[in-house]
Structure 1
């Protein structure tokens, strides 16, 4: 098998996470000829359903949302051009854990969790589903969440843990030789949002006419997924692929309101609000673009 010169692996928790956080990045690298592999850890069985005629798919009714969200994921990846997307351990191996909101406004584990929930997964077992993929695809760049899962969702936190543990195990030559030849991922990033860009996005979206967008959010006291610019390392300009990202978000119709503020923007505002995706480099050597504090390419320096 001939490997692409540039190989990107993303580990996300549920269908739609990948598009919201990394959709433009994925589309950009696919368009540039890189190999992009997406691993989704669950089918999002516990997600909220925003389409009234599909409410019967909910976990407390038909419990069929996961299979439907897989079709949404397939459609979204087709729109972004991603042809290699897999479910960790195979479909149904790990179930969406669900969540609730705590007193601080962050997500946390629900009071009742399914026995097969990803949050309950054995860390070594889950990592061993990812190790052979890392060794097979040999990515130079791995993208996942920070240790808080960006906002506390247990599946995001677990995806972070599994991705990092698997990367460590995959790099050890003596570990599970049956899972392939060792590969040490050179660069690992965490997805992030820029505080300054989020403040500006809220301002522009409200000026565009949606006064309810993020209503109640204090621009001077943003949630933990908003990161100080000094702690960001990469800003990937995906503005030429904003339309593809928006279309992919529409494909996740059960999770993202198609008449919501994401789609009510003029094209230039949308490009500024959603076209640049930010990352924190947690392994590897930063290689910022000339005259910038940020890398503009996740493969920079390799």
Structure 2
């Protein structure tokens, strides 16, 4: 049995970014550990979700624990930092936020978990945090350093395939839709110049279509953040599998005989290109 540790910025990031990889590793009999830097205190609250006086941090803590069950996670830990808010917001400057945390100190908190779990691999985000969120960028910085401290050689930077997004946009602009969205549902407005990385930067892709239903089930637990009319949930389940059935990575460290960076973790990783 191997141990995979997935490090994320906020509750719900785990389901969106690496949920399929986690579920497949768990299904193969491996130990999956989720570490979350913050409790997502500054997330945008869906109307009518919280009870009177209910704190968002407590709700999101409960949500991620329920989602973790869907993804086969054996242990959930929080590093204890405060959500920094979106890039450019005044909250970025608050001394107690994750964005302002000392990287070395935060890395040692994470490294302690990596060492305790004898982690075989660690997932983080790319150096822009996937889309520029300060807490996601900090996950990259802290994760890289924590892996160095704990001696974890296999580090996988989760990202988005920007090239694939451009192909999709071009196909839609040319009338080659590929799939029909339900009435009233629109694709998210993404900045293709900064969202993710180009395909030639990515090294591996995990085909997680077979467990896409588990990703969707995990997202359903994050009701404070994801409403029924959100793109993630508004599209039909079969379309969800097509849209979110691949998880992309920039892999570092040794690979196995089939080119997978996850030694002993039987997620279907294939080299890109």
- TM-score norm. by structure 1 comes to 0.77
Aligned to 1:70, what secondary structure does the other structure show? helix
Look up the match of 1:162.
Answer: 142
Count the aligned residue pairs.
Answer: 258
| CA contact 1:286–1:301 (8 Å) conserved in 2 | no
Look up the match of 2:182.
Answer: 209
Q: Measure how far apart 1:260 and its partner are.
A: 2.1
Q: How does 1:167-246 map to 2 (within 5 A)?
A: 167-170=147-150, 184-199=151-166, 203=172, 207-209=180-182, 213-214=186-187, 217=190, 222-246=192-216
Distance in 1 (CA, whole Å) between partners of 2:228 and 2:110 is: 33
Aligned to 1:169, what secondary structure does the other structure show? helix
| CA contact 1:146–1:190 (8 Å) conserved in 2 | yes
Q: Measure how far apart 1:251 and its partner are.
A: 0.7
Look up the match of 1:21.
Answer: 17
Q: Which has the larger radius of gyration?
A: 1
Distance in 1 (CA, whole Å) between partners of 2:223 and 2:257 is: 36
Q: Measure how far apart 1:208 and its partner are.
A: 2.4
Look up the match of 2:77.
Answer: 86
Q: Measure how far apart 1:81 and its partner are.
A: 1.6
Higher relative contact order (Cα pairs below 8 Å, separated by 6+ residues): 2
Q: Measure how far apart 1:214 and its partner are.
A: 3.3
Query: Do residues 70 (structure 1) and 61 (structure 2) align?
Result: yes
Q: Measure how far apart 1:198 and its partner are.
A: 3.2
Q: Return closer, same or farther for 1:298/1:36 CA change in 2, 3 Å cut-off.
A: farther
Superposed CA offset, 1:163-198 (max 9, x none): 11111122xxxxxxxxxxxxx212111111123443
| CA contact 2:255–2:262 (8 Å) conserved in 1 | no
Of 46, 70, 75, the residue aligned with 2:42 is 46
Segments of 5+ residues of structure 2 without an aligned counterpart are: 266-273
Q: Return closer, same or farther for 1:250/1:84 CA change in 2, 3 Å cut-off.
A: same
Q: Return closer, same or farther for 1:130/1:206 CA change in 2, 3 Å cut-off.
A: same
Segments of 5+ residues of structure 1 without an aligned counterpart are: 100-107, 171-183, 290-294
Aligned to 1:147, what secondary structure does the other structure show? coil
Q: Measure how far apart 1:36 and its partner are.
A: 0.8
Distance in 2 (CA, whole Å) between partners of 1:55 and 1:156 is: 29
Q: Measure how far apart 1:285 and its partner are.
A: 3.7
Query: Do residues 130 (structure 1) and 121 (structure 2) align?
Result: no
Of 225, 231, 243, the residue aligned with 1:255 is 225
| CA contact 1:48–1:255 (8 Å) conserved in 2 | yes
| CA contact 1:95–1:114 (8 Å) conserved in 2 | no
Deviating beyond 4 angstroms after TM superposition, the runs of 4 or more aligned structure 1 residues are 199-206, 286-289
Moved more, 133-142 or 30-39: 133-142
Aligned to 1:69, what secondary structure does the other structure show? helix
